[in-house]
Amino acid sequence: MTAISFPEFAPDLPAARVDASLRQALGACDRARECALLWFAEVQRRQLYRALGHASLQLYATQALGFTDNRYWQFKRLADDLDRLPALREAVETGDLGWTKAQQVARVATAETQTEWIGKAASAGRRELERQVRLARKRTPAAPAAQLALDAPPRPVADPPATISLRADGVQLARFEALVEKARRLGLAPAGADRLDLVVAALESLVTGTADASPRAAGPAAQIIVHQCPACEDAAVTTSRGERKLAPAQAAAIACDARVQRPGRPNRASIKPSVRAAVLARDRHRCATPGCRSTCFLEVHHITPRRQGGSNRADNLVTLCSRCHQFAHGHAGALAPAQVLEQVLEPWPEAKAGS
């Protein structure tokens, strides 16, 4: 990758010199964006955000990099395109194709046509390339049935993640994409939520009989069954496709906030229901992870694990979404629990008023 140089600013230069310097600076800005995109795609491809202490790519982008949500989704879409189109990725890496043209190519190129479109982009100006892309998009007929794959991003599970596929006609696909985009724009989608998370949240809303999947429901909308060996502590969840073995972090997160059944004993909640309700109310029914604040799939987490002497008292408990909860158990200390607890215990204006 070539070095990026910016012209040093100096006032009162001749017009031609100012124009040349401005063009050089703009070119350097474009190259810097391309470089940033490649590094971002690397973080996504290798899930390096986990090693950096974040439960999702979006949390890493917004909390560590200072991205706005709009900037995150722009980078995310382009990173996905680079994974989907390896020839386009190579063209960007070598500098044969700039940031702006790569965006245009990604709108129409497929694995079969990417090389052809890269050639067109290299020989055409930006406006001409935009015109060709518009024409190509108009000529492409809508498929009678599009395959809509809802693959969750890789989870730390002991066996390969399951794939759920739905078939949609053109209208259904357009409605789905529009609703997903609107949910994200209105802030209804939790940070880092993938499409499968949104579908499950919508189903939960139907089951609970509410229009907005209210987080204040008395209990979970559905129950899952987990079997755990008392000797080796291996755990598996029961599904229609058989038992799926859980990773240790998943099993630990579930055990943190569950109803436990042992042979010959009554069912017992890991956390007393009244204490759990108080913790959820204290945390305003939101995930306490900075930058997440999800209101979906909430669980209660032990800051100091019970095996290390932690109690079931409210001051040792904090509300996390299922994604952040599992991440906390897989990356000890990553969520800085002391700081999180201090944040959620801070009184809110309505609490001061005695509500």
Residue 59: inside a domain: yes
Rounded mean pLDDT of 26-51? 88
CATH number at residue 129: 1.10.10
Q: Quick one: tokens of 19?
A: 């124009």
Last residue of a domain, one of 111, 128, 146: 146
Q: Mean pLDDT for the chain?
A: 77
Q: What pLDDT does 279 receive?
A: 92
How many structural domains is the chain composed of? Answer: 2
Q: Which residue has the tokens 């038992």?
A: 243
Question: Does 267 have pLDDT greater than 80?
Answer: no
Q: Give the separation between CA 254 and CA 300, rounded to whole angstroms.
A: 10
pLDDT value at position 262?
75
Residue 195 resides in a domain: no
pLDDT reported for residue 219: 54
Based on the domain organization, do 140 and 260 belong to the same domain? no
Contact call for residues 326 and 156 (beta carbons, < 8 A): yes
Q: Which two tokens stand for residue 179?
A: 């609703």
> Rounded mean pLDDT of 38-59?
90
Residue 48 has pLDDT above 90, yes or no: yes
Question: Does a structural domain hold residue 162?
Answer: no
| 212 vs 305: which has the higher pLDDT | 305
CB atoms within 10 A of CB 83: 13
Q: Could you tell me if 139 and 32 lie in one domain? A: yes
**Domain assignment present for 169:** no
Q: Is residue 313 part of a domain?
A: yes
Which of 131, 146, 161 delimits the end of a domain?
Answer: 146
Residue-level pLDDT at 148 = 45
Q: Considering the entire predicted model, what is its pTM?
A: 0.61
Q: Pick from 109, 125, 146: which residue ends a domain?
A: 146
pLDDT at 228 over 60: yes
- Assigned domain for 305 exists: yes
Question: Same domain, yes or no, for 19 and 137?
Answer: yes
Q: Residue 138 contacts by C-beta under 8 Å, 6 or more apart in sequence?
A: none
Give the DSSP per-residue string, 189-252.
Answer: SPTT--HHHHHHHHHHHHHHT-SS--TT-SS-SS---EEE-TTT--EEEEETTEEEEPPHHHHH
Q: Give the pLDDT score at 44.
A: 92
Helix, strand, coil shares of the chain as percentages rounded to 5? 50, 10, 40
Asked if 235 and 339 sit in the same domain, the reply is: yes
Q: Of 247, 249, 246, nearest to 238 (Cα)?
A: 246
pLDDT, position 215: 45
233, 302 contact by CB (below 8 A):
no
Residues 340 and 242 in one domain: yes
105-114, 151-160, 183-192, range with the lowest pLDDT: 151-160
Convert the pLDDT of each residue in 51-76 to its tens digit: 998 988 989 999 999 998 888 888 88
Residue 237 has pLDDT above 90, yes or no: no
**Rounded mean pLDDT, 317-339:** 74
pLDDT above 70 for 168: no
Angle at 289 between CA 287 and CA 290, to 5 degrees: 120
Enumerate long-range contacts of 130-135, CB under 8 Å, 24 or more apart. Answer: 130/104, 133/104, 133/105, 133/107, 133/108
Tell me which DSSP letter residue 62 carries.
I
Q: Is the pLDDT of residue 218 over 60?
A: no
Q: Residues 235, 139: one domain?
A: no
Q: Which two tokens stand for residue 184?
A: 């994200």
pLDDT-derived band at 350 (thresholds 50, 70, 90) equals: very low
pLDDT at position 16 over 60: yes
Q: How far apart are CA 286 and CA 302, in angstroms?
A: 16
pLDDT for residue 328 is more than 70: yes
Report if residue 215 sits inside a domain. Answer: no
Q: Is residue 203 part of a domain?
A: no
Range of the domain at 113: 15-146
